[in-house]
Amino acid sequence: MELKNATVLITGANRGIGLAFAREALARGARKVYAGARDPASVTLPGVQAIQLDVTSDQDVAAAAALAKDVTLVINNAGIAAIGGFLAEDSIESARRHLETNLLGSLRVAQAFAPVLAANGGGGLLNVLSIASWINRPRLGVYGMSKSAAWALTNGLRHELREQGTQVLGLHMGFVDTDLTRDLDAPKLAPEDVVAQAFDALEAGAEEVLADDATRQVKQGLSANPASYLLA
């Protein structure tokens, strides 16, 4: 689908990748950009319409879908990432928090906006995923679990939404230079580069985009022997 004249809704649009999505959507000629955030006052980008949207809130999501009835592209970007593996003392509670935002939040938004997209010709749904959809390490074990689940959700939604003509794109990448990764000592991608690749793929009709070499290598290695997810 084309970004020019599109009406875009972005979750977690006040900073990081979400803010980069909002800027690039405007630059590519989007007619309107709804910038969702838990606190609308935190959205300061000129040219967007800030809306209250906590993806863990049924009420917020329903209100957003009732307000933004002209949306043609939904970007499920809101997410959390906390350090910790499965054997940490707080791993159960951490898993609940991660799944509520990274999995159920995306599902909640997709359910609410699927009829809106159908009414507006199909449009598109872009889910922000991760290299951690395919590999899991103790440092980000719980986060990786939530992104693996979100990848499965994306694949399932793609089949369910195909009949109504909605393009579903999964975006996978390694670490991106945002607030979420501030304390991580690792190579990081620029949010603007990730977003540009995602929108290029969307406009080309793609269903998946791998935004860096590491992610492409991991995906290719899923069928290797030994598989990439088995390597330490």
Residue 143 known to be catalytic = yes
Q: How far apart are CA 102 and CA 49, in angstroms?
A: 23
Q: How far apart are CA 90 and CA 78, in angstroms?
A: 22
Q: How far apart are CA 180 and CA 49, in angstroms?
A: 24
Q: Are 129 and 150 in contact (CB under 8 A)?
A: yes
Among 55, 46, 56, CA closest to 26: 46
Dihedral sign of CA atoms 215, 219, 220, 223 in order: positive
Residue 147 known to be catalytic = yes
- Among residues 32, 143, 188, 229, the one annotated as catalytic is 143
- Among residues 32, 34, 69, 147, the one annotated as catalytic is 147
Sheet holding 208-210, edge to edge: 49-52, 32-37, 7-10, 73-76, 124-128, 167-172, 208-210
Q: How far apart are CA 173 and CA 189, in angstroms?
A: 8
> Which sequence positions are flagged as catalytic?
143, 147
